[in-house]
């Protein structure tokens, strides 16, 4: 091989390594519900999105988070899965739903592969709400609205009204009943006092 061929091979290798390095993305530390190291969102938009995703999480006990990233679409699945694991999305909640949103291209949805919160049809419908041509804040608001509708409906179906929250258990139910009983007693005593009737009096048991 001539020196000229060696030089050409080294030049091609350098171009390849530079191209690969251009798409190397470090996973940052999580920053709220929507991590935005690229600063694609204004402070006002970031606050509004944080409030919206936080309300969904509060209503459904599903950890909803996202990451705006400057990476090609073919790298999103790997980056999103690693961020989901590293940031422990859903670990302290009933489940987790995670958006990874490229600045240029369509978003991806990452879920717990063992027990995904959304089925394939709902996940596809949710991602269809993303319009890569729209401003970033609008894109995320549209996906957050779709996620909120689906997750609230699923939560309502899974936990009928009147059922105790599974993480609160029997102790919470008993405590709530005692609080309600105390409120009723206070109300009855107040009515007796206002009507002029003697207030209820409970005598302590006599010691033997």
Tell me whether residue 11 is in a domain.
no
Tell me whether residue 60 is in a domain.
yes
Tell me whether residue 177 is in a domain.
no
Tell me whether residue 171 is in a domain.
no
Look up the domain containing 134 and give its range. 21-158
Tell me whether residue 183 is in a domain.
no
- Residue 32's CATH number: 3.10.310.50
Give the burial string for 95-118 (b: 16+ CB within 10 Å, else e).
bbbbbbbbeeeebbbbbbeeebbb
Q: Is the pTM of this model over 0.85?
A: no
Q: What percent of the chain has pLDDT over 70?
A: 63
Tell me whether residue 139 is in a domain.
yes
| Residues 20-72 pLDDT 10s | 444 567 999 999 999 999 999 999 999 999 999 999 999 999 999 999 999 99
Tell me whether residue 163 is in a domain.
no
Q: Tell me how many domains the chain contains.
A: 1
Nearest Cα to 99, choosing from 123, 119, 120? 123
């Amino acid at each position: 091989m001539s020196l000229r061929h060696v030089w050409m091979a080294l030049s091609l290798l350098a171009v390849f390594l530079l191209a690969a390095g251009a798409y190397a993305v470090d996973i940052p530390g999580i920053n709220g519900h929507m991590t935005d190291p690229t600063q694609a969102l204004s402070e006002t938009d970031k606050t509004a999105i944080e409030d919206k995703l936080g309300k969904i999480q509060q209503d459904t006990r599903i950890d909803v988070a996202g990451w705006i990233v400057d990476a090609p679409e073919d790298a999103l699945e790997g980056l999103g899965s690693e961020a989901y694991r590293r940031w422990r999305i859903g670990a302290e909640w009933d489940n987790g739903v995670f958006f990874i949103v490229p600045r240029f291209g369509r978003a991806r949805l990452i879920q717990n592969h063992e027990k995904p919160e959304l089925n394939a049809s709902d996940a596809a419908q949710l991602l269809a709400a993303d319009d890569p041509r729209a401003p970033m804040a609008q894109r995320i608001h549209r996906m957050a609205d779709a996620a909120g509708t689906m997750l609230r409906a699923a939560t309502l179906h899974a936990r009928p009204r009147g059922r105790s929250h599974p993480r609160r258990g029997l102790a919470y139910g008993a405590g709530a009943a005692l609080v309600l009983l105390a409120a009723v007693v206070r109300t009855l005593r107040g009515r007796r006092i206002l009507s002029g009737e003697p207030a209820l009096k409970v005598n302590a048991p006599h010691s033997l």
